[in-house]
Amino acid sequence: HLRCVHFVKCKFYLDLKNVKKRLFSDYKDNTPLLKNMQRNKQVAMGRKKFNMDPKKGIQFLIENDLLKNTCEDIAQFLYKGEGLNKTAIGDYLGERDEFNIQVLHAFVELHEFTDLNLVQALRQFLWSFRLPGEAQKIDRMMEAFAQRYCQCNNGVFQSTDTCYVLSFAIIMLNTSLHNPNVKDKPTVERFIAMNRGINDGGDLPEELLRNLYESIKNEPFKIPEDDGNDLTHTFFNPDREGWLLKLGGRVKTWKRRWFILTDNCLYYFEYTTDKEPRGIIPLENLSIREVEDSKKPNCFELYIPDNKDQVIKACKTEADGRVVEGNHTVYRISAPTPEEKEEWIKCIKAAISRDPFYEMLAARKKKVSSTKRH
């Protein structure tokens, strides 16, 4: 009995060996299959390399004849994106190199935006890679996006600049509406008002803006590799508004004022509904610091660095309507809560730091608002 079992085992083993041998010879004869296996393995390795270092990954794939060295082929590879990390795709597409810029354009060409509204197109585009953090990179990518959108949807916007500016207004709207840290949720009317005059000096159709607003309101943008670090908060100077107490320059009394931070200026109003501000403080060349005040909590101060007695360039409106220069060497301000103080300091700091992105956007906004429509 034992011998019998042994025999069966042995036979089984020999059969197995035969099967393996046959399989192997199949492979050997079937070189295309073997080659394909090797190729797949190398492609997988190339993807891995790409995710660690995009440039090296692409180079590896080209050297091993797995990818043609043309911007169209590379763009196709990134567009398919199989097994690729979207952060790495964003990094590669954002590079300043002439060749990478060509790949970026080929990549954008692969996106089909015809008959999509701007929000739908942005959803598709922003999902295909992760937007890198650097202002110049974002600018190049969004410029390419705007060009492609206008190419696919002739006549919707007067110019690509209009499309570019509106795209950012939408990305910012996404944050304002969906980021729980942003208390002030703009209404559709405000969104429309904010985008007045951006169509080469003219207005965009209200219905178009309403649709875009509703779309974002109903569903925020999803971004790949969302690490909770909201792009919009990092790369835009968030506008902010709220009640603060301001210490007078000449007469040292605390006055409650409605402050609005926008366009690198701090405006303050007596009432939220006032059309004209009581004062304007341009933030250029100023710094901000926390201070203790014996009378008020949560204080901070705007001041001119390295300068004790110089008056800050600012203006205010007198009771009789005259606009005069301010008389402050520092602006001391008190926030209602420690959290609000932190937020104001953060936002004002961001405004002061002359975010290059903010300046690029502001310049374009100026351009699209001042162009005369023919």
Ligand X SMILES: *[C@@H]1O[C@H](CO)[C@@H](O)[C@H](O)[C@H]1NC(C)=O
Active site members: 134
The position carrying tokens 């901070």 is 300
Among positions 174-203, residues that touch ligand X (CB under 6 A) are 174-175, 178-179
Residue 232 CB, nearest approach to ligand X (Å): 4
Between 250 and 252, CB nearer to ligand X: 250
Helix (H, G, I), strand (E, B) or coil at 68: coil
| 259 phi, psi to nearest 5 deg | -100, 140
| Pair 210, 195: CB distance under 8 Å | no
Which of 219, 225, 276, 339: binder of ligand X (CB under 6 A)? 225
Among positions 157-176, residues that touch ligand X (CB under 6 A) are 171, 174-175
Q: Nearest-CA neighbor of 105 among 136, 156, 143?
A: 143
**Structure-token pair, residue 231:** 């792009």
> What is the residue-wise DSSP string for 1-13?
-HHHHHHHHHHHH
By CB under 6 A, is residue 220 in contact with ligand X? yes
| Pair 191, 209: CB distance under 8 Å | yes
Q: Report how far residue 132's alpha carbon sits from residue 95's, in angstroms, rounded to the nearest whole number.
A: 10
Between 229 and 273, CB nearer to ligand X: 229
Between 168 and 371, CB nearer to ligand X: 168
Between 85 and 128, CB nearer to ligand X: 85
Among positions 238-257, residues that touch ligand X (CB under 6 A) are 250
Residue 57 CB, nearest approach to ligand X (Å): 13
Burial of 75 (0-12, 13-18, 19+ CB in 10 A): buried
Among positions 59-118, residues that touch ligand X (CB under 6 A) are 85, 87
The position carrying tokens 């600018």 is 139
205 Cβ contact partners less than 8 Å away, ≥ 6 residues apart: none
The CA–CA distances, whole Å, from 19 to 12, 13, 29, 35, 90 equal 10, 10, 15, 21, 48
By CB under 6 A, is residue 223 in contact with ligand X? yes
Between 42 and 87, CB nearer to ligand X: 87
Q: Report how far residue 353's alpha carbon sits from residue 182's, in angstroms, rounded to the nearest whole number.
A: 21
Residue 255 CB, nearest approach to ligand X (Å): 14
Between 250 and 275, CB nearer to ligand X: 250
By CB under 6 A, is residue 48 in contact with ligand X? no
Among positions 263-322, residues that touch ligand X (CB under 6 A) are 282, 284-285, 313
By CB under 6 A, is residue 219 in contact with ligand X? no
By CB under 6 A, is residue 124 in contact with ligand X? no
Q: Give contact residues for ligand X (rule: CB under 6 A).
A: 85, 87, 126, 171, 174-175, 178-179, 220-221, 223, 225-226, 230-232, 250, 282, 284-285, 313, 324, 327
